[in-house]
Chain A
Amino acid sequence: MQIALTPGALASLSQSRERINRVIFWAVSAALALCAGSAFHHVLTVSQPWLKAGQLLSLAAVIYLASPALERGAPRRKVDEPSVRFLIREYQERNRICLWIRNRLLWCVPGVLASWWGVLEVRGFQPLARTNEFFSGSSLFFLTFLCLAALWFALGAVADRALLDAEDVGRNLDA
């Protein structure tokens, strides 16, 4: 396995990675802006008050969740640290990020609940609708809550595992 990289090639590779990161950053920002714009449009055009509130809460949740991540960007790793400290930091960072996202999932709930209540009012309080259409009735909201719950538990499991890994590595320092 031969690899012959000159400093010039590495500089180009580094610049190309940074370009890709910038493109991803702008694409994600654009997608979030579109979602926010769509939610804002619904706030203005929808007349049903609970649906309006649901869209407004969802818009606020998206802005609250996305803006710190976009502001901060990806953290730069300190790869020149001694290995034990580097690994502990990596695992602790993974734990922190997973818990940060998980705990903020709760911010999505008020918007979904308000939208659900709005849909129920529009349909005349028929929560157990028999329609088979995926995007009508309460099935979409049940699915949304199920997905949020699954994400909550998955992120929690990953965070716990990362903490255990950090403690395991840390035991090497105590030994």
Chain B
Amino acid sequence: MDRTQQDALYAEARSTFGAELQRLARAYDANSEQQRDLLQEIHLELWRSFLSFDGRCSLRTWVFRIAHNVGASHVARSVRSPRLVDLETLAGDAVPAAAGAEMERKLSAAMLLHLVHRLKLIDRQVILLYLEGEEASAIAEVTGLSAANVATKIHRIKKLLKQQYSEGAAHAAR
């Protein structure tokens, strides 16, 4: 692939998936300065990777694979990363109370990010791809997990989110 094709592919990826990449960077690091660095790193690796892109998978799969791998590498190399947990552990945790509609909306988004930041890397990737509207088969292609495994994790994620939000609403109602 030559430089022109590489640049064209990158421009297409940036315009199509730019917002998703920003959300992904926020989900991999809670610090805004680090998020910016991570996002730049993702864009750089994405651009570099298009030299070897041969269409063996869809552009979407390629972009998400690169982005999630750079994000995971960022977390894995961080000396300050907290202890990460799996979905089952997160399901057992207490939920903070919500108060007022606007506060509840902000708290829900913040709560979701907080949950995501605590997750182990593979579970985090599955939940982020699920929240971006990806199907189980697409998530399996990006992560390398089996479709059955992804479906099991998505079922646990749905249960976790339902439990977290209904407990949060119950607190607000009191």
Contacts and interface: CB of A to CB of B under 8 A. Distances in A.
B68 A1 contact: no
A79 B69 contact: yes
A11 B47 CA distance: 8
A81 B144 contact: yes
Given A83-B72, A84-B144, A91-B76, A3 B43 contact: yes
Interface in A64-105: 77, 79-87, 90-91
Contacts, number: 99
Q: How large is the interface on A (under 10, 10 to 19, 20 to 34, 35 or more residues)?
A: 20 to 34
A21 interface: no
Interface of B: 6-7, 10-11, 14, 22, 25-26, 32, 35-36, 39-40, 43-45, 47-49, 52-53, 62, 65-66, 68-70, 72-73, 76, 120-122, 125, 141-146, 149, 152
A32 interface: no
B39 A3 contact: yes
B66 A80 contact: yes
A1 B69 contact: no
Nearest to B70: A79
Nearest to B152: A175
A5 interface: yes
A80 B76 contact: no
Contacts of A3: 22, 36, 39-40, 43
A175 B150 CA distance: 10
**Nearest 5 CB-CB pairs, A to B?**
A82-B144, A7-B7, A84-B144, A10-B47, A83-B143
A12 to B, nearest CB: 11
Contacts of A175: 149, 152
A172 B66 contact: no
B145 A84 contact: yes
A21 to B, nearest CB: 14
Contact of A87 (B10, B52, B62, B121): B121
